[in-house]
Amino acid sequence: MTADVATLDTTRPMTVLFVDVAGSTRLYETLGDDEALRRVRACLDVATEATTEHGGTVVKNIGDELLCTFPDSGSALLAACAMQSLVRALPETGGIRNMFRIGFQHGPVLMRDGDAFGDTVNVAARIVALAAAGQILVGSDACDTLPSHLKFGIRPLGQATIRGRSAEVRLHEIVWDMAADLTQVADGATLRALPKALSIELQFGTLTWRIERGAIAIGRDPGNEVVLSTKRASRSHARIEARDGRFVLRDSSTNGTFVQPAEGDGRQICRDETELTGSGCIYFGHKPTDEGVEGMTFAIG
């Protein structure tokens, strides 16, 4: 008996990418089911467009998430950056910004009846779960197979524990939003434009930083600029980024980050981001009332 070709299992090296609409639960709570569903579909439409444009295939839609495959990690990286740019360009609804969380990994993938299976798929799914809103995370196998001309703007994050796996996975972040503070000068050279007046001052213990551009990494890993000691903090816990005169806290941790402004109510975020305004204090993995809490003060001016 001859097997149906469509049902044959094939295993080959591929890059698996998951893209997830960040904050979809909040969308449904704030906008209502119909409008939120339209918003999610619009976001996934641009992700599909970017996937097709860069030679990938949308394997399936899982609620507010897409599973995509690419022939190589370079194509996946270009598609991921395009996805973030396209979704950010969509109009806001109810003051809520459109954002993706993206993660991808490269390795052997079992294709069966049009679906993708295997360890590479599982790891990619775990990686996207660790990404914050607006973030692209990449596993080491995907990063190692990138062509050299695409390795600019990749930041190592260290080892991460992946649920369901005994071995840790080395993660990297794709710094895709590199044009936000770039300006073109008359001779064609590209210079990084500084925000005109604003900076953020951060104080942690006896250490002080003043940031006008770029970002500062925070976590238990010694490679961070701000190294935390509390066990409730993640190795790569959070980043504070300058974005065109604004300052954004991006949490990528397990236990979250609590922001207590000098005026108004505090708020906790977990694998999401929030804009910092005025002054206040930030607590990593704890609330202000917890025992052993580590706090960082901030002031923008």
Instruction: Write down the pLDDT at residue 8.
Output: 62
Q: Pick the closest to residue 239 from 231, 229, 248 (CA basis).
A: 248
Asked if residue 127 and residue 226 are part of one domain, the reply reads: no
Tell me the whole-structure pTM to 2 decimals.
0.58
Mean pLDDT estimate for the chain: 83
Report how far residue 260's alpha carbon sits from residue 279's, in angstroms, rounded to the nearest whole number. 9
Q: Which domain holds residue 159?
A: 9-174
Question: Is 283 a residue whose pLDDT tops 60?
Answer: yes
User: Residue 186: which pLDDT band, with cuts at 50, 70 and 90?
Assistant: very low
Residues 6+ apart with CB under 8 A from 92: 98
User: Residue 195: which pLDDT band, with cuts at 50, 70 and 90?
Assistant: very low
Query: Residue 217: which CATH number?
Result: 2.60.200.20
The dihedrals phi and psi of 49, each to the nearest 5 degrees, come to -60, -45
Query: Residue 57: which CATH number?
Result: 3.30.70.1230
Asked if residue 150 and residue 34 are part of one domain, the reply reads: yes
Instruction: Locate 69 and state its tokens.
Output: 């495959």
Going by the DSSP 8-state scheme, the letter that residue 132 receives in this structure is P
- Phi-psi map region of 245: left, alpha, beta (phi>0 left; psi -120 to 50 alpha): left
Asked if residue 154 and residue 110 are part of one domain, the reply reads: yes
